[in-house]
């Protein structure tokens, strides 16, 4: 049993996982369900995966959707500002190569082609701005710590 617990302990102690803020709905879901999952799933690694990847998948997906939207909005504002700045430079220096090179690109930005989520492409996929990990490190770290603590408390009670 100790060999299995060691990787979970190391994972929970990683600096990246500790620094990442976990949104309250995700933390609450993990805390509310950890004891039930620990009792139902014997293998700790599978329990962590089940808790984070299945039981709490909905609040994690909602947070990733919010992050994707936020990122798309930031990118849209960035590209539009860049094109506006370029238009100002073009007015100051008409006919420059830089202005000509970005003119078509900026017209696409202004109609939202490069900054708005689009539908399916010709290959049947869609464009994604932020591709969050299926299991955010902070969620895995919290689940690992809680499940490991529960498991250890059960082991201490046994004679």
9 vs 22, residue with greater confidence: 22
Q: Are 51 and 147 in contact (CB under 8 A)?
A: yes
Tell me the mean pLDDT in the region 89-108: 63
Count structural domains, the chain: 1
Asked if the structure places residue 97 within a domain, the reply is yes
The pLDDT assigned to 7 comes to 41
Q: Considering the domain boundaries, does residue 112 fall inside one?
A: yes
Alpha-carbon distance of 159 to 157, in angstroms, equals 6
**pLDDT-based confidence at 20, cuts 50/70/90?**
low
Better-scored residue on pLDDT, 117 or 35: 35
Neighbours of 119 (CB within 10 A): 6
20, part of any domain: yes
Cα gap 34→53, rounded to integer Å:
13
Note the pLDDT of residue 94.
Answer: 61
How does residue 97 score in pLDDT terms, banded at 50, 70 and 90? low
Report for 39-53, 109-123, 125-139: range of highest mean pLDDT: 39-53
Is the residue at 125 inside a domain? no
Residue 34 covered by a domain: yes
Distance CA 20, CA 138 (A): 6
Q: Does 124 fall in a domain?
A: no
Whether 123 is in a domain gets the answer no
pLDDT at 78: 85
What range defines the domain where residue 137 resides? 2-117+130-157
pLDDT band at 152 (very low <50, low <70, confident <90, very high): very high
What number is the average pLDDT over the span 27-31?
Answer: 97
Say if 88 falls within a structural domain: yes
pLDDT at 17: 42
Give the Å distances, CA to CA, from 78 to 40, 61, 69, 85, 115: 48, 25, 14, 11, 9
């Amino acid at each position: 049993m100790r060999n299995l617990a060691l990787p979970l302990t190391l994972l929970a102690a990683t600096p990246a996982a500790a620094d990442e803020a976990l949104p309250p709905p995700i933390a609450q879901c993990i805390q509310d369900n950890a004891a039930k999952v620990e009792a139902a799933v014997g293998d700790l690694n599978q329990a962590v995966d089940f808790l984070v990847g299945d039981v709490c998948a909905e609040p994690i997906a909602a947070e990733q959707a919010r992050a994707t939207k936020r990122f798309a909005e930031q990118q849209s504002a960035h590209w539009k500002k860049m094109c506006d700045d370029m238009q100002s430079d073009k007015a100051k220096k008409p006919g420059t190569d830089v202005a000509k090179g970005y003119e078509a690109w900026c017209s696409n930005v202004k109609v939202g082609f490069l900054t708005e989520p689009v539908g399916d492409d010709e290959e049947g996929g869609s464009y994604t701005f932020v591709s969050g990990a299926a299991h955010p490190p902070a969620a895995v770290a919290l689940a690992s710590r809680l499940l490991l603590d529960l498991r250890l408390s059960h082991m201490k009670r046994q004679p």
